[in-house]
Amino acid sequence: MQQVLLRVLQEKEIQPVGGKARKVSVRIISATNKNLADLCREGKFRWDLFYRLAVAELELPGLQERGSSEIAELINYFIRRKKSELRKESLLVLEPEVARFLQNYSWPGNVRELENLIETLYVFQGDRVKFDSLPSRFLERSEGKSLKWVDVEREHIK
């Protein structure tokens, strides 16, 4: 597939199966969570395609790499947006401990995980979200994962 895409980018033409080649004028916007240079070194991605695609690279940090204030802003943004999308009468209110937990959560699913959580809370919770009303996968993952001294000590004693 890489060879086909490279040919399209180099020759600026496509050839449908059983059809004639025709010229195209396209711009490619691509995104990945992989390190393409590493994949090229491993022989899993073509260097020539990499250089064709890497014209204007933009690297966006994941939620894990952002500060808690940015995560808080995203939470508030999704709360307002989902209120509008789901046609709710009032904004979702997070208890302070829930807000702190979400700001310090590792977010392995990145922005999509955060957005989906806010939607889930709107759908299945009332106006106020308490800590024990978070989906179980958040509660399970939080146990034993904290590096706070009190939590580490508690886990050690268990």
- Provide the β-strand partners of residue 23: 13
Q: What is the pLDDT of residue 141?
A: 56
Residues 39 and 78 in one domain: no
CATH assignment of the domain containing 94:
1.10.8.60
| Cα distance between residue 67 and residue 61, in whole Å | 11
Residues 47 and 102 in one domain: no
Going by C-beta distance under 8 Å and a sequence separation of 6 or more, which residues neighbour residue 68? Answer: 103, 104
Q: Is the pTM of this model over 0.85?
A: no
| Cα distance between residue 96 and residue 117, in whole Å | 17
Residues 89 and 146 in one domain: yes
Confidence class of residue 147 from pLDDT cuts 50, 70 and 90? low
C-alpha gyration radius of the chain: 23
Q: What is the pLDDT of residue 57?
A: 87
Residue 58 lies in a domain: no
Residues 24 and 98 in one domain: no
Which residues constitute the domain of residue 101? 63-157
Task: Of 94, 49, 88, give the one whose Cα is nearest residue 72.
Answer: 94
pLDDT digits (tens, 9 = 90+) for 19-51: 999 999 988 888 888 899 999 999 999 999 999
| Cα distance between residue 16 and residue 103, in whole Å | 49
| Mean pLDDT computed over 86-115 | 92
Q: What is the DSSP letter of 22?
A: E
The total number of structural domains in the chain stands at 2
